[in-house]
Amino acid sequence: MILFAGIPSEPPIALGIEAAERMGVDYAVFNQRRSMHTDLQLQADDAGLRGALWLDEKRWDLTGFSGIYARTIDPASLPENRARRGGVPNALAAARSALINEAFNDWLEVAPGRVVNRPSAMSSNCSKPYQLQLIREHGFHVPPTLVTNDPELLRRFHARHGRVVFKSISSVRSIVTEWGPHGEHRMQAIRNLPTQFQALITGRDVRVHVIGDTLFATEIATDAVDYRYAVRDGLDARMTAVELPSGIAERCVAMTHALGLAFAGIDLKRTPDDRWYCFEVNTSPGYSFFQEQSGQPVADVLVSYLAGR
């Protein structure tokens, strides 16, 4: 029996549910949007750790799940907890929803069985340069990175590397964009907030998904700086399954485990001179985008992993 937690229509969870049905794996769904119809009880004492979840009045023993796939979102962003049509949100319902979410995340930290992923392990990519420091220890090249609020330092960095991109420092999603020959006012804007710049690394993008000890590598052929937005920019992004050199594959699996993750989405780039750069380890990978394009059965392996198969 496995548990999916989050928004069931969200593609990665939807694909997981679909795989579980197809594979005949029993499952339950904790739909965050039905928090008002959810109850949670956790007990920790000398007798051990116990927990139960009531989903629409049906009781589920939390210790009975062989695996949990959680992609929960901040309850404050749920439509039910936001003001609508000039009304005010129900503060009690919002607080209850927030507390259930927090307690459920607490359970994920200590739950027996397989958890994809435990919240503390997911926190390493709350800071991209921090995570780069961890990635470096696993033998990957990392792109030369500068976070600064000083235009002169940026000019020098740009001059040294020729082509430079900028993106968010935190896990807030941003579009990786090339820093072009902008006006001085744009350069001066970085004085307001330190901004992250990286040398643009040319080569082939490879997205790797590691689930337990299983690995899928997908090569993305595109001229876009950020392949996720290639279509928006009128460019192509073709995805094909590829085999990684064994040393690189082993490094990906070892790094995933060292970060405490059961499931990771690793962004690599292979340069023309065969150097492997790692940009980021996504700790809650949106694998559906890659599965749909490449046909790799990521969801099937995820469900098998959660079912303990």
Q: What share of the chain is helix, strand, coil (3-state, %, to 5)?
A: 40, 30, 30
The two structure tokens encoding residue 210: 């590691």
Q: What span, in angstroms and rounded, lies between the C-alpha atoms of 293 and 231?
A: 13
Question: Which segment (186-194, 201-209, 241-249, 298-306) binds other proteins by CB under 8 A?
Answer: 186-194
Contact between residue 74 and residue 119 where contact means Cβ atoms under 8 Å apart? no
DSSP single-letter state for residue 127: B
Among 56, 155, 194, 271, binds other proteins (CB under 8 A): 194
Total residues at interface with other proteins (CB under 8 A): 57
> Which CB, 113 or 129, lies closer to other proteins?
129
Q: Is 169 in the site for other proteins (CB under 8 A)?
A: yes
Question: Which segment (125-133, 202-210, 246-254, 298-306) binds other proteins by CB under 8 A?
Answer: 125-133
Among 124, 222, 294, 304, binds other proteins (CB under 8 A): 124
Q: What span, in angstroms and rounded, lies between the C-alpha atoms of 249 and 235?
A: 29
Q: Exposed, middle or buried, 162 (CB in 10 Å: 0-12/13-18/19+)?
A: exposed
Question: Which segment (3-11, 138-146, 180-188, 263-271) binds other proteins by CB under 8 A?
Answer: 138-146
Q: From the CB of residue 87, how many other CB atoms can be counted at a distance below 10 Å?
A: 8
Q: Is 161 in the site for other proteins (CB under 8 A)?
A: no
Q: What span, in angstroms and rounded, lies between the C-alpha atoms of 307 and 309?
A: 5
Interface ranges with other proteins (CB under 8 A): 38-46, 49, 52, 76, 91-92, 94-96, 98-100, 102-103, 105-107, 109-110, 120, 123-124, 126-130, 132-133, 136, 141-150, 153, 168-172, 192-194
